[in-house]
Structure 1
Amino acid sequence: MSKIVSRASLGLIRRLPGLLLALLLLAPTTLLAHEARPLYLQIDELDSAQAGGYSYRLKFNLPPSITADNRPFLTLPDSCKSQSLGLLVQLDCTGSLDGKTIGIDYPKYNPSVSALARIRYSSGESHQALLSPQDTQWQLPPRESASAIVGEYTALGIEHILIGWDHLLFLLCLVMISGSFKRTLITVSGFTLSHSLTLVLTTLGLVRLPIAPVEAVIALSILFLAAEIARGQRTSLAWRYPVAVSTLFGLVHGFGFASVLQEIGLPQTELATALLFFNLGVEIGQVIFVLAVTTVFYLLGNWAAPSLARLQQALLYGAGSLAAFWTLQRIAGF
C-alpha cells in the first residue's frame, strides 16, 4: 500500500509544474504593470500677446485605465485662468506659458501611466516631452529667440572648426602652399565662399550627397595638397592657383559642415539665423587658426628659419600620413 501511495505522490509531484502553469494561464489574475498607452496632453497657443495676454487651448486624451472619478487635473501658473469648453479647456494668461511649470495631478491616486505632453506656439514652433509615471510636472521649454540662437550657433560653428582635425589640416596645407599673406587671404576666402555655398544648399535640402564618400574626399583633399607641397613642383596647378584648389575642395568640405549641422539640429522658427551664425562661427574659427599658424610661421621665419623648415616638414608629413589613413579608413567604411 505504501509503495502505491509513494508512486502516486511521485507522479503528482512530477505533474505539479505543469498544473501550476495551467492555473496561472487560466486564472483571471490582474497583472500589476504600467498602462501601455500614455495620457496625452496637447496645448495650443491661440493668440500671442494680444492686449497683454496669451490664450491657450488644452486637450486631454485619457487611456481606459483612468476611471472617471480619478480624472487628472492640471496645476496651472497663478497667472492663468481656466475655462471648461466640454472636452477642451481654455486658458487665459497674463504672461506666456513658456518656461512655466504645469502639474498633472490625480484626485485619488496616481494610476502609474506615462504622459505625452506637447505644446505648439502660435509661431509654429512645437515641443513635446514623454513624462514617466513618476513625473507629475512639466516645465515648458522657452521659445526660440534670435538672440539666443545667435550666441549658441556661433559658438557651435567655432567649436566645430577648432575640433575638426580634417578641416584644420586642409587649412594648414592651404597656408603652406599659398606662401604670402595676400595669397593666403585670397585662397582661404575661396575656401570660405565655396563651403558656405554647399552648406546652405544642403541645409535647405536643395542638394543631397551621401556623407561617406564626402568624408573620404575631404581626407583625399588633404592628401592631395600634402603630396603637392612635398613634391615642390611650383609649376603645378595647385602651386600656381591655390585658390582654384581651395574653391573646388571647399565645395566638398561644405557638405561635411552641413552633415554636422544636421546632427546638431536646427531651430524650427529661426532657420536662417541659425544657418548664418553657424557659418559665421566656422569662419571665426578659421580666422583664429589661420592667424595662429601664419604668426608662428612668420616669427620662426624671422628668428629661426631652419626651425621653421623642420616644423613645416614635420607638419606636412604628419598631415599627409593622417590623411592617407583617413582616406583608406573612410573608403573601407562604404
Structure 2
Amino acid sequence: MRGLLRLLLLLLLALPAHIGALADELRPGYLELTQASAVDWKLVWKAPILGGLATRASPQFPGFCTAKLATPRLSSGALVATGTMRCLQPLAGASVGLAGLAPGDTDTLLRIAPLGRPAQTERLLPGHASVTVNRVPDRWQVARTYFVIGVEHIVTGYDHLLFVVALVLLLMRGWPVVKAATAFTIAHSITLAGTTLGLFGMPQAPVEAVIALSIIFLAVEIVKAKADQPRLSERLPWLVAFLFGLLHGFGFAGALREIGLPETDVPMALLTFNLGVEAGQMLIIAAALAMLALLRRLMPAALRPAVAASAYAIGSTASFWFIERVWA
C-alpha cells in the first residue's frame, strides 16, 4: 500500500511536465455542411495540428457530390479550410464522414444543416468515422452529442478537474462536496450561457490565468486547514465554489467557441453540455471520495500526509499553468 501511495505521489508531481498544454483543451476537429440551395452546400473543415487529424484525415462525401476546399489556413492551432460542394441528388440517406481516421486520433464534431430542417450533429471517432444523413432529423442527437462533450471536458479539461478534486480534498465529506460542486455548476452555467448568447464576455487569456489562480487558492486552503479553526472556504464552500464557477464558465465558453454550437439548437446544446459537466463532476467526486474512504480505512495515519502531498502537487501544477498563461 505504501508503495502504491508513493507511485501516486510521483505521478501527481509529474503532472506539470506532461499536461501543461492540455489544461483546458477541448479541440476536436469540426466538419460543417450547410445547404445553400437544392444542390449547393458550404463546407468548413477544421483539423487540429495535434491529434492526428491534420496529417491523416480528410472529409469523405458521397460519389454524387463534388467538393472543392480552399488551401487550409492556420488558425488557433488548427488547419481551417472552407469550400463548396455540389450534390446531384439529396444528401439524405447518404453517408458522410472522414477518411483516414486512426486509433488515438482526436474526435470530430460533424454538423449537417439542410435547408428548412433542423441540423444534425454527430461525433466522428475511429471506428465510427461516418454517419448516415437523416431523412427525418432527430433533435436529440444534439442532446446526446453535447452531453458527451460536457462529460469529456470536465474529465479531460485538467484545470477544471483539479479544481473539483481540490474541493473534495478540502471538504472530505460527501454532502458538502456535492453542494459546493452544484454551486460551481450553477455559476459556470450562468456565465457560459451569457457569454454564448453574447450578453457579456471576458478575454480568454486572463480568464485562463485566473482559473489557475483559483486552483492555487484551494491548494493553499487545503494545506492551511485546521480542524479547530475552519477557514472561509470550509465554512462557506458553496459560496467560494460559486464565485470561482463564474470564472470557470468563461473558460467553458471559450472551449465551446472552439467546436461551435448548432445554430438551431443552442439552448439544447447548452443545457446538455452543462448536464454532462455535472455528470462528469459527480463521477470525479465519487472516485475521489472512494479513494479517501479506502485510505481512511486501511491507513488512517497516512490520510493527512497524502492529502497534503496531493495539495502541493495540485498547487505546483496550477502554478505552472499560471506562469505559462501569463507569459504566453
Q: TM-score normalised by the shorter chain: which range applies?
A: 0.5 to 0.7
Cα offset for 1:303?
2.3
Query: Which structure has the greater CA radius of gyration?
Result: 1
Of structures 1 and 2, the one scoring higher in RCO (CA 8 A, sep 6+) is 2
Structure 2 residue aligned with 1:150: 143
Structure 2 residue aligned with 1:206: 199
Structure 2 alignment gaps of length 5 or more: 1-34, 42-62, 66-87, 96-111, 122-130
Cα offset for 1:43?
5.4
For this pair of structures, how many residues does the alignment match?
A: 224
Cα offset for 1:182?
2.0
Specify whether residues 232 and 205 from structure 1 end up closer, same or farther in structure 2 by C-alpha distance, changes over 3 A only: same
Q: Deviations over 1:48-77 (max 9, x none)?
A: xxxxxxxxx5589xxxxxxxxxxxxx969x
Q: Give TM-score, length-normalised by structure 1.
A: 0.60
Q: Give TM-score, length-normalised by structure 2.
A: 0.61
Q: Which moved more, 1:180-189 or 1:253-262?
A: 180-189
Specify which of 177, 185, 191 is matched with residue 192 of structure 1: 185
> Does structure 1 conserve the Cα–Cα contact (< 8 Å) formed by 2:262 and 2:269?
yes
Are 2:274 and 1:279 equivalent residues in the alignment?
A: yes
> Does structure 2 conserve the Cα–Cα contact (< 8 Å) formed by 1:97 and 1:140?
no
Structure 2 residue aligned with 1:253: 248
Structure 2 residue aligned with 1:23: none
Structure 2 residue aligned with 1:306: 301
Letter of the structure 2 residue corresponding to residue 241 of structure 1: L
Specify which of 215, 228, 233 is matched with residue 221 of structure 2: 228
Q: Deviations over 1:10-56 (max 9, x none)?
A: xxxxxxxxxxxxxxxxxxxxxxxxxxxxxxxx753xxxxxxxxxxxx
Cα offset for 1:267?
1.4
Letter of the structure 1 residue corresponding to residue 282 of structure 2: V
> Does structure 2 conserve the Cα–Cα contact (< 8 Å) formed by 1:166 and 1:218?
yes
Specify whether residues 149 and 305 from structure 1 end up closer, same or farther in structure 2 by C-alpha distance, changes over 3 A only: same
The within-5 A match list for 1:47-196 is 57=38, 97-100=91-94, 120-123=114-117, 142=134, 145-196=138-189
Letter of the structure 1 residue corresponding to residue 207 of structure 2: V
Fraction of identical pairs, as percent: 40
Cα offset for 1:246?
0.5
Structure 1 alignment gaps of length 5 or more: 1-41, 45-56, 61-73, 77-90, 102-117, 128-138
Letter of the structure 2 residue corresponding to residue 184 of structure 1: V
> Does structure 1 conserve the Cα–Cα contact (< 8 Å) formed by 2:162 and 2:314?
yes
Runs of 4+ in 1 over 6 A off after TM superposition: none
User: How large is the RMSD of aligned CA atoms in angstroms?
Assistant: 3.1
Letter of the structure 2 residue corresponding to residue 169 of structure 1: L
> Does structure 1 conserve the Cα–Cα contact (< 8 Å) formed by 2:172 and 2:289?
no
Distance 1:75 1:219 in 2: 50
Structure 1 residue aligned with 2:238: 243
Distance 2:132 2:327 in 1: 45
Letter of the structure 2 residue corresponding to residue 227 of structure 1: V
What SS does the corresponding residue of 1:267 show, helix, strand or coil? coil
> Does structure 1 conserve the Cα–Cα contact (< 8 Å) formed by 2:153 and 2:277?
yes
